[in-house]
Amino acid sequence: MIDTGIDSGLTRHARDVEPSVSRGETHVVLLAGKLVGSVAPLEQDAAWWGPRPPDALYRHRLVVVAEVRGKGIGKQILMWSQGQTIAAGREWLRLDCGTGNTRLRYYDERQGFRHVDDVLVDFPGPGPDGEPWDGSPLPALVGAMS
């Protein structure tokens, strides 16, 4: 099980990362042949950010396994994501984070992201990863770095 100590929907992540990798949406990080992390830089994220011009990539599914936590893997994944953003001709790397997930918010802010807004996102029916939502809005912290 992937465990970062940061609440990021890891049970759902573990279930859907393989099909997402097959679709080319999620990239995995290997260290000595062992899976140690993942990230999904998406080209759009209207659910969290609304309709926007193509000026950003959107970071999702950043996960680092517990065994390598604190070794800079997350920072390296973010640096790779920034490189992908530049290569795609985009100005921003954006993310979202549950407002109650203070550890992830603190981590993102330490990496240079700044808080932009708090929003409520209501996903009717199945959520973005096929997981059913309970019908209540999902609070999110939205941040960006350039």
Spatial neighbors of 24 by CB under 8 A, at least 6 apart, are: none
10-46+53-145 CATH, one of 3.40.630.30, 3.90.180.10, 3.30.70.360, 1.10.600.10: 3.40.630.30
Cα 52 to Cα 120: distance, rounded to the nearest angstrom: 17
pLDDT tens-place string over residues 80-96: 998 898 899 998 888 88
- Regarding pTM above 0.75, the answer is no
Angle at the Cα of 101 (from 71 to 47), degrees rounded to 5? Answer: 105
In this predicted structure, the answer to whether residue 76 has a pLDDT above a threshold of 50 is: yes
Q: Three-state SS string across 82-142, please?
A: HHHHHHCCCCEEEEEECCCCHHHHHHHHHCCCEEEEEEEECCCCECCCCCECCCCCEEEEE
Q: Where are the domains of the chain?
A: 10-46+53-145
Question: Quick one: how far is CA 67 from the chain centroid?
Answer: 20
DSSP label of 67: G
In this predicted structure, the answer to whether residue 66 has a pLDDT above a threshold of 80 is: yes
pLDDT tens-place string over residues 5-46: 444 444 455 566 778 888 888 898 888 888 888 999 989 888
